[in-house]
Each structure stands twice: as structure tokens, then as C-alpha cells.
Amino acid sequence: MIRYLASRVVTMGFTLALVSALVFFIINLPPGDFLSNQIAELQAQGESASVAKAEFLRAQYSLDAPLWKQYLIWLGAVPGPDGYSGLLQGDWGWSFEFDQPVSDVLGETLWLTVLVNLAAMLFIYAVSLPLGTLAAVRAGGVTDYVVAFVGYIGLATPNFLLALILLYYGERYLDLPIGGLMDERFEGEPFSFDKFKSILVHLIVPTIVIGTAGTAAMIRRLRANLLDELGKPYVTTAKAKGVPPVKRVMKYPLRAALNPFVADIGNLLPSLVSGSVLVSVVLSLPTLGPALLAALRSQDHYLAGFILLFVSALTLAGMLVSDILLAILDPRIRFGGRGR
């Protein structure tokens, strides 16, 4: 088990390194950068003091160095002008637009992003487990069709539209709050029970919106797996023996069908995270989505790069969790068998 875990962690670290290189490359794709735009603008206005500051920042972040060297400095593997100061040392870079370190700009949003995605994840599992089971047990029945219909709608409706519609009707009929993740009076406040309650109420719409597409996919997957399992002879034997229906489904077939259900986190998480970026722009949640969009628009490339990397790391961490869960659930994986 420990050996398996260690190998997974090492693979993840390797993947993360590749992802960081890719991300750095992508954020440097747009021609020009924030500082050179700013310098051009300031020179046009003839402000030499600010130009000097911008030039200083350029040197500070070695934007003149070749790309691979910039990347290594950003990573913290090679000393920059101020010695080692990069991601590895916990320095997340400088946001040129806000004129602040990235860590100060993002602050709370990081944890709110994790919270929103976690809530959506829990929602997906909490909803799709009972519904998927029901759909499989009552295959061909009314429940099955209703679940399939809702699932297809969830699959086909773009997230952001669902967000707009739910936002409107939620506010109108259920008095759910619009936008944001907490009441304005709690913003920047220390953590308290009231703040927690406010966050919970605000989480309802985003969670449903982000979770719907994933729920639809999950229900279909679980239904198919469980149907396969229910057709097997041992279920018939159990029925012949007189095992009551609930126990007959719960004891073995459901457990066998759960395996791919957990393994699917790997597929689910990336789409979940990217969905949450879009939805949080529409619902103006204080998460990474709007921040990323703004950073991309203003070419604030360390900010954008860090957000992209954080979001990717989030999915990788989720995959690691799913691997660990699977290993606990399935001895064939734990002992490195040929099960997969």
C-alpha cells in the first residue's frame, strides 16, 4: 500500500512539473506583456519616474531573459535577481495589475474555490448514488425515464445558462441570495458561525449548477455498471434464496458497481473545475474564475499562470484522492495485481 501510494505521489509530482511548464508556455503565448504595454503607455505620457519603476520590475522579474530561464526562475529552480524566489520557495509571483504579491491578491479566493468544488463534488455523489441505483433497479420504469430525461437536460444545457436561469428563479420564488458567496457584511470578517451559515445559503445555487452536468454523467455510469452486475447469476441465486430486495442490491452488486464510480473522479474533476470557472464568472463568486478572466484580459501573466497552475494542482490532488480511495476499496489495485 505504501509503495503504491509513493509511486502515485511521485507520478503526480512529475505530472505537476510538466503541467507547470505547459502553463508557463501558454501564459507567455500572447505577444507582449503587461509591463512592456505599460512602459509604452507611460512613455507616451512622458512619465519617467513610473517608467523607471516599470523598468526596475522588468529587471526584477527577468522578463528580458529567455523563456526557459524565466520559467526556471518562476519555479524557483534557478536564482533570479534576488536569489532563489519562486513557487518552490512559496513565492507565487507578482501581480502587475494590482501591484501586489499574487498571494495577497488571491488570498481567501483560493479556499473558497476549493470549498465550491468540494461542495459540488459532494452534491454529485449525494445525488447520483441514490438516483443511479434507483434507475438501475427500476430500469425501464418511470423513475428510469425521468432520471434519464433530467440527466440529458443536465448534459446538454450549458452551465452558464443554467446558472442564469436558476439564479433568476431562485431569487424570485425561493428568496435565495443573488451572486457572491457570502453576505457583504461578512466579507473580510474573521470566521464565525453566522458567516458559515451565510456561505452555506449562498452555496446552494452554485453547487447545483456546477454539479448538474457531472451528476448526469455519474448517474448514467452507475446505472450501466449496476445493471451489468444485477444481471449476474449470483443475484438470481440471492433472489432464489429469498434475500430481501434492498439487501440483495446493497450487499454485493452495489459495492461491485461502486468501483468505477469512484475511479471516475479522475474524469469528473477536470470538467468540474472548468465548469466552476465559468459558473463563478456568471454568478460573480469570489473564486478563481473571475480572477483568471480578468488576469487573462489584462495580460497579468504571473497571476494568470498561478491560477492555472493552482486549478490544475487541484484536479491532480483530486485524482490522487480517487486513487487512494480506489486502493482502499479494491485489493487488486492495492497489491499491484493485473486487475486493471
Partner 1 sequence: MKEPGTDPLQGGRAPSPIDPDTRYVDGVAYDPDADTDIGGARPDLDMPTGKLIRRRFLRHRLAVVSALFLAFLYLCIPFVEVIAPYGANQRDAEHLFAPPQAVHLFHDGSLVAPYVYPTVATADLEKFQWTYEEDRSQRQNLRFFCLGDPYQFWGLIDGRFHIVCPPEGGTLFLLGADKLGRDIFSRLVYGMRVSLTVGLIGIAISLLIGITLGGAAGYFGGWVDATVQRMIEVIRSLPELPIWLALSAAVPPQWSPVSVFLMISIILGLLDWPGLARAVRSKLLSLREEEFVRAAELIGASPQRIIRTHLIPNFMSHIVVSASLSIPAMILGETALSFLGLGLRPPAVSWGVMLNDAQDLTIIEFYPWVASAMIPVILVVLAFNFLGDGLRDAMDPYS
* CB-CB neighbours of 52 under 10 Å: 12
Q: Does 297 bind partner 1 (CB under 8 A)?
A: yes
Nearer to partner 1, 116 or 308 (CB): 308
Give the shortest CB-305-to-partner 1 separation in angstroms: 9
* Residue number, 249 or 304, with CB nearest to partner 1: 304
Would you say 23 or 208 has its CB closer to partner 1? 23
First-last CA distance in the chain: 16
Least Å distance, CB 51 to partner 1, is 25
Least distance CB 16 / partner 1 (angstroms): 9
Q: Return the residue of 72, 147, 199, 277 that touches partner 1, per CB under 8 A.
A: 277
Site for partner 1 in 127-156 (CB under 8 A): 152-153, 155-156
CB of 72 to partner 1, least distance (A): 19
Binding interface with partner 1 (CB under 8 A): 15, 18-19, 22-23, 26-27, 29-31, 152-153, 155-161, 164-165, 167-168, 178, 266, 269-271, 273-275, 277-278, 281-282, 292-293, 296-297, 299, 304, 307-308, 311-312, 315-316, 319
